[in-house]
Every structure is written in C-alpha cells, then in structure tokens.
Amino acid sequence: MSSQVRLRLLPSARCLFDQPVQVKVEGLRSRQVVTMRARSTDEKGVVFSSSATYRADGSGKIDLLRDPSLSGSYVGVEPMGLLWSMKADALHKYFFKDNALQPHVVKFSVHEEGREDRMLAEVTNERLLIGNGVSRVPVKGRNFQGVLFTPPGDGPFPAVLDLSTFASEKRASLLSNKGFVVLAVPVYSDHPDNVKQTNLDHFKEAVDFLQQQPKVGSKGVGIVSQSKGGEIALSLAAFVPGVEATVWINGCSAVSLVPLYYENQQIIPPLLFDTNKMIHTESGASIIKYGLGNPLAEKNKGSLVPIEQAKGRFLFVAAEDDLSLDIKACMDQMVERLKHHGKENFETVRYPGAGHLMEPPYSPYCPSSFSGVISYVVLWGGEARAHAAAEVHLWSKMQEFFRTHLSCDAAQTKPKL
C-alpha cells in the first residue's frame, strides 16, 4: 500500500446501516485514474463486491459526493454506489444480512487502474443494524414468535409490527433506532409447502402483545409489510381493532396461496398459483408475474381483502418494475375500492424503475434470487440506480408516515411491572 494515499469515510468508519458515508481519497497524483472497490461477505459466506473507476482532481483528491464514476459497476455521481451495486460472482444471489447483532462489514479500497493486486489504501466500514441502547429480545407467544426491539429511554414510543415473509431482523432493528418499539414477526415460521392455511388470530396476538409493552405510548400500532406480508397487514387493518397505520409494500390486494382463517373459520379464500404461467428466461430465473390468479378478475373478487372496513390509515407503495406481481394494478384497485366507499384514509407512492425487494437504504440491489415461497429462482425486476434511490426515499417516507399517524401520549404509557 502507498503510505501517502489516504482513504477516509466521513463522518466515521463506524455508522448505522442506513446512514450514508462520504468516501474521500487524498494523496494521489494529479489527475490519476484509480479503481475504487467495495467487498463484503454475507451471513451465508457469499462474497459480494463492486468496483468503479475514478479520476483524481488536480490536487490528487477524489470525493464520491462530487466526482463521477467513469466506468465499472455504475457510472456518474453516486456517493453510495459502491454499496448498492455490490453483487456476487454467481447469478441469482441475495445478500443475506438479517442478524441485527452483527454489523454489515464492508472493505473499501483504492487500487492502481487495472491492477487489483496494487492496493494503494484500504478502510473498513462497520455498518451497524442495532444502535446504542436498543434492546433485542426474542419473544415467543402462544401462536407467534418474533424479535422485539425497544429504543433506549422511558418513552413513550410508537409501536410497529414488522411483517416479513421469512424471519428477518434488519428493517425492524433499524426502525427501532429511530425511536419505535418494533416487533419483527415472519409470515412463515415453517416451510411454505407445509402451511395449509393462514390464521389471522396468530398475528392479532402479536398486535396485542405489542400494545401491552410498557414503553409503548401510541393508542394503536403500525404495521410495515412487504410481499406476502402485505395481505396479512391489510387483513389485520380490516379485521383487528387497534391497527392505526399500515405500510403496504409490493404486496397483493387479495389473499394468496392458502385460505385466511379468523376465529376458527375461513374468512377469505385464496388466489392460487399456476406454475405453468411462469415465463422462464435464459438466465435460469423465471418471471412469476402472471402465475398468481388475477386479483382484478370478477371471479376472484371474493379473495380481495375488505380494506374498506379498516379504521386506520394506509400508505400503499408500488414498485412499478416489480416482476413478481402487477403491483401497480393491485394498488390502483385498492384506491378505487376505498374511494368507492367514500374513504380518504390512504396515500400512495410509486417508484418507476424499482423492483420487488425494497429494503432499507444501501443494501446490495438484488435483481433475482431463489424464492422460498414458490421454490423457484425468480426475477424481481428493477434497475439498480432507480431501485437504490427509491429505497432511500421510502425509508424516510415510512418513518414520516408512522410518526404522523401513531401519536404518543405520555399519559398512556403503562406503569412498569
């Protein structure tokens, strides 16, 4: 390594996962061209990496806030491009980073142009999922299991139920850093093939558990959901009291795959999935957008969730390049349904160029991976740059939505036991 070349991350090389860093290089030759690299290993041991070519200014400095990448994993001015453009050498890999207690570790480095073996400087970025003082407690109810994240301090704090398709702590822990009590609960705690029905009562138990937490001050709970979690979130909002604010991201407006039960009886029949309607591509990944029964078809209207029954607010989020389902059509249908019933309890946001897997900011973009729900490698859609920008915007929008509609009253906090 060159002793005079310095690679710095500002304001610090240690930060929260969703915080941007300013990447700066000093000590290069005037107008020197170098390759910047980022590298990280996920929880399954898969290595993800990115690279971009930059030209130093007249004083031998590079600043990713200011300077464009000339070639590589992305081009143009993208201050966090080295993070969101990381990908594995093999196709169809999703970056697994779900354990909140372990940081996302990224090695940034500067190399002579075209010479990966000639490293000029290196720095390690520790991106924490859980902030100082946030508590993480695994919980097991009678019919649900999850992980509870609670911010430091006495509160009162608003409460949010995070519904992910499979167990994941990333979004919940990061949201708790922002001052929310968050309970992360997966839709599937068993293999999807073994699940013959969804019991809404199990998720109602999670809502009740959240409301009983001593630091919770909101009069109701919020729900953030994505994909399969979306229909569960809509159903909770429609049937369960106390759901005040629901964020629905790239889900379905109907119940899918298995019937929905509540209080020991079936309340909504499902749309079924037909694997013969998938479109297989040369990459080995399939487009599943047309496999699920059309929720807008007249014959399927019994599978739609009656969201007009909801007392709380909705934020509907549609990635317009999602290849898993016609998300835009689902959202438009829900908006029309609410308007038809004289409801104005919703807002919408659309992201052109974004794909299905919308995550907290600066996650490596995933265009395709194995779907544990249908057991196929699938294309999720999206264009990396637009998708990354959408994730940054949505993360801020979601927090604003919850703060607006989950008001806290200090008098509502429960006495500590």
pLDDT given for residue 409 in this prediction: 65
190 and 79 part of one domain: no
Domain of 81, CATH number, reads 2.60.40.2240
User: Among 128, 154, 170, where does a domain finish?
Assistant: 128
**Per the domain annotation, does 415 fall within a domain?**
no
**Per the domain annotation, does 417 fall within a domain?**
no
What SS3 state is found at 6?
A: strand
The whole-number mean pLDDT for each consecutive block of 10 residues of the chain, a chain of 417 residues, reads: 86 97 97 98 97 98 98 98 97 94 97 88 98 96 96 95 94 97 94 91 96 91 96 97 97 96 96 94 95 92 96 97 95 97 97 97 97 94 98 98 85 41
**Per the domain annotation, does 209 fall within a domain?**
yes
* Chain centroid, CA 77 distance in Å: 24
115 and 254 part of one domain: no
pLDDT given for residue 416 in this prediction: 36
User: Among 106, 128, 150, where does a domain finish?
Assistant: 128
pLDDT given for residue 413 in this prediction: 43
Do residues 270 and 294 make contact, with C-beta atoms less than 8 angstroms apart? no
pLDDT given for residue 189 in this prediction: 86
DSSP H/E element including 327: helix 327-340
201 and 90 part of one domain: no
35 and 148 part of one domain: no
What SS3 state is found at 392?
A: helix
pLDDT given for residue 219 in this prediction: 83
User: Among 128, 144, 177, where does a domain finish?
Assistant: 128
Domain hosting 298: range is: 135-406
Residues 6+ apart with CB under 8 A from 376: 275, 278, 286, 288, 370
186 and 223 part of one domain: yes
How many whole angstroms separate alpha carbon 218 and alpha carbon 222?
A: 9
268 and 344 part of one domain: yes
**Per the domain annotation, does 188 fall within a domain?**
yes
233 and 94 part of one domain: no
75 and 224 part of one domain: no
Strand pairing report for 181-186 and 145-150: antiparallel
Q: What is the dihedral of CA 179, 233, 349, 279, to 10 degrees?
A: 130
**Per the domain annotation, does 203 fall within a domain?**
yes
Active site residues: 227, 322, 356
* Chain centroid, CA 282 distance in Å: 28
Domain of 216, CATH number, reads 3.40.50.1820
102 and 202 part of one domain: no
